[in-house]
Amino acid sequence: MGTLRAIARLHRALPAATLCGPRVFWRVHAPVVVGDPQTYCTESGWACRSIGRYPVPYKKDLPYDIVELMEEVESKGGFLPNVFKVMAHRPAEFRAFFSFYNAIMNKETGNLSKADRELIVVATSIHNKCPYCVIAHSALHRIYSKNPALADQVIVNWEAADLGEREKAMLNFALVVSRAENIKDEHFKKLEENGLDSEDAWDIAMISAFFAMSNRIAHFIDLRPNAEFYSLGRVPREKQKSGSS
């Protein structure tokens, strides 16, 4: 039960006050043939394209705790991120994945802010060429940082982005971990010079390592980002509402 309670707190990563758009309950997708990710329908719009190579299970076929979490996240955020849908294909792995995600991304100790954590995900995911994680987590970074431009700069070239020395040290350490390079004392020293201790280094490394795995999962699934992520943190909620009316 403790694990399930931890998973149930995941929706904090999608602040209800910021996410917007009409609520659309997650739907069952017809089975997709592995090896044929480019599945389209005759209607126009994002909803026609398959979100990945694997079918999304029916709600009635899923364990209650997973359905409860998915409906809670959707209710809080206004839409259900596609990663929940595809990971539901393997319920035991769904629980493990989101439990670890919650532990590293929603912890309230250490010197990393939520914006810091999301920026680490963006920088390492662009290195791993993962569209889903780059798009989803740059949206979350815009929300937490209130900065609509920084994540875009990091996506293009983090070394030329408007980053402070602390952020540069943080992202450099994260990328060394993500690239599986040798970790040296000088990497830790650079963090310490910018106010980040050995426990913060652990947090940076765990986020980088977890999302290196997550990026690879997204690659082989051919996971597609939700359309809602593209405008989050860019357009005020009131304007999005008026634009959709």
- Give the start-to-end residue ranges of the domains of the chain: 2-106, 114-220
Tens digits of residue pLDDT in 169-227:
999 999 999 999 999 999 999 999 999 999 999 999 999 999 999 999 999 999 999 99
Task: Give the span between the Cα atoms of 226 and 216, in whole angstroms.
Answer: 18
| Domain 114-220, second-level architecture | Up-down Bundle (1.20)
Contacts of 186 (CB under 8 A, 6+ apart): none
Fold of 2-106: 1.20.5
What's the pLDDT at 236? Answer: 67
Tens digits of residue pLDDT in 66-118:
999 999 999 999 999 999 999 999 999 999 999 999 999 999 999 999 999 99
What's CA 6's distance to the chain center, in Å?
17
Nearest to 107 by CA among 203, 189, 39: 203
Task: Give the span between the Cα atoms of 23 and 62, in whole angstroms.
Answer: 21
Q: How far apart are the two ends of the chain, measured CA to CA in Å? A: 42
Task: Give the span between the Cα atoms of 123 and 232, in whole angstroms.
Answer: 18
Tens digits of residue pLDDT in 114-144:
999 999 999 999 999 999 999 999 999 999 9
Tens digits of residue pLDDT in 37-69:
333 233 334 444 579 999 889 888 999 999 999
